Amino acid sequence: MATTTTTPETATPEKKSNPVTLTASAVAKVKEIMAQQNPVPAGLRVGVVGGGCSGFQYSMQFENGSGAMDKVFDFDGLKVYVDATSLMYLQGAVVDYVETLEGAGFKFENPNVKSTCGCGSSFQA
């Protein structure tokens, strides 16, 4: 027996319900960078584009609004835009911000990836 919730405004949004998830550290870092922009962007676009040594690459850029085919997700007040095509490749993906001795940056953990390249910035689905 399956149930669906049709009143998300009455409940706290669960990250599991979103096809793509940004961790708290990723959201905090994006907000920090956005606050330094002039003018401040409306949100963040996360997507997949063709290219790289394995066929696809992740894309992140600031946006001033959503497109006609975008899905919009809210992460602690941060609007995240994902186009319909990218959504297919990002289903279940988690975007994190990590800081290590080797460097800092955004890291994608994507269950749809079949293989990645040596540099780790492109993938094959």
Alpha carbon distance 84, 69 (integer Å): 6
Say what the pLDDT of residue 18 is.
Answer: 85
What tens digit of pLDDT does each residue of 21-76 get? Answer: 999 999 999 999 999 999 999 999 999 988 767 678 899 999 999 989 999 999 99
Residue 1 has pLDDT above 60, yes or no: no
Of the two residues 92 and 4, the one the predictor is more confident about is: 92
Alpha carbon distance 111, 93 (integer Å): 6
Among 117, 114, 95, which Cα is nearest to 106's?
95
Q: Which CATH superfamily is domain 15-124 in?
A: HesB-like domain (2.60.300.12)
Say what the pLDDT of residue 51 is.
Answer: 76
Query: Do the beta carbons of residue 119 and residue 53 sit within 8 Å?
Result: yes
User: Among residues of the chain, what percentage have pLDDT more than 90?
Assistant: 58
Which DSSP helix (H) or strand (E) runs through 110? none
CA angle 17, 18, 19 (to 5 degrees): 115
Query: Do the beta carbons of residue 30 and residue 78 sit within 8 Å?
Result: yes
Say what the pLDDT of residue 10 is.
Answer: 39
Q: What is the pTM of this model?
A: 0.76
